[in-house]
Amino acid sequence: DIDMDKLFSNLSKGGCDHNLKKLALNFNNIHHSSSSSSKSIGNENIIKFFLNTKSLCHVELSSCKLNGIFIQ
C-alpha cells in the first residue's frame, strides 16, 4: 500500500527532482491517507511534483489499484 499524500508530499518538497529518472509504483494499492481532509490537497502535491521534476522520464503504474484518487 502506498499513501499518495505522504509519497507526493515528500517528493514535492524537492531533493530528488533533478535526479529521479524512473518512478515505479507497480502492483500497489494507491490511496489517500484517511487523515487527509481533502483529496485536492494530495492532488496539489502530485501536480507540484510533476511540474517541478527535471529528469523524470518514466512512470510505471501497471497493475495498480488507484481507488479513485483523482476523483474530487
Q: Specify the pTM.
A: 0.66
**Cα 14 from Cα 70, distance rounded (Å):** 22
Residue 37 clears pLDDT 80, i.e. is over it: no
Whether the predicted pLDDT of 72 surpasses 60: no
**What is the grid cell recorded at 64?**
495498480
Average pLDDT rounded to a whole number, residues 44-72:
78
Give the separation between CA 51 and CA 53, rounded to whole angstroms: 6
Q: Please, which pLDDT band fits residue 57 given cuts at 50, 70 and 90?
A: very high
Cell numbers that stand for 50 in this block: 510533476
Q: Residue 34 has what pLDDT?
A: 58
Alpha helices in 1-72 (DSSP H): 4-12, 39-52
